[in-house]
Amino acid sequence: MAYARIQVAIDDGGNFERALDEALRLAKDTSAQLRLVHVVGNAPMEGNQTNLEFEMDQDAARKAGRAILKRAVARAQQAGVAVEPELIGIRTSQYAAAVLAEAERWAAELLVIGTHERGGLSHLLLGSVAEGIIRHAAVPVLVVRSGEPAA
């Protein structure tokens, strides 16, 4: 099946390159539109953060997000695939919901995500954005493993 609109969730975990490479291959093979999404959460990191500290953290997160997207766009351009980057700010830590909402808004036909393959206690405590996307997506999801062993 060919997909005309592919959305890739880009994170700062370093695994996005493998997911992006797979999405680029698919987009190139099918002449699909490609959308790169990076989500920046706006939930306070610490309960005792001042408003100024919180705003500084958010500015740094947005700057880092733009740099991640810029790097991903450069990879896509090098591969000869046009992309549309999107930095999404949210007021919670519900990253999976934000990725899914953007996919619905943009009418994505396929989601491509990388997984860090966290296991055991780490997965239990941190949850998994990939798992949230897989469980609730209304469209197919291609999960690209990092190739690293599970913790």
Structurally, how many domains does the chain consist of? 1
Question: Would residue 151 count as lying in a domain?
Answer: no
**CA dihedral over 103, 108, 110, 112, signed as positive or negative:** negative
* Per-residue pLDDT at 14: 60
> Where in the sequence is the domain holding 62, given as residue range(s)?
5-145
Based on C-alpha coordinates, what's the Rg of the chain?
16
Looking at residue 125, its pLDDT comes to 39
Chunked into runs of 10 residues, the chain (151 residues) has average pLDDT values of: 92 79 95 95 61 71 92 95 94 89 97 75 57 93 73 45
Indicate the residue type of 101.
A
- Whether residue 150 lies inside any domain: the answer is no
Q: What is the CATH number of the domain that holds 14?
A: 3.40.50.620
pLDDT at 82: 92
Does residue 80 sit within a domain?
Answer: yes
Contact 107, 139 (CB under 8 A): no
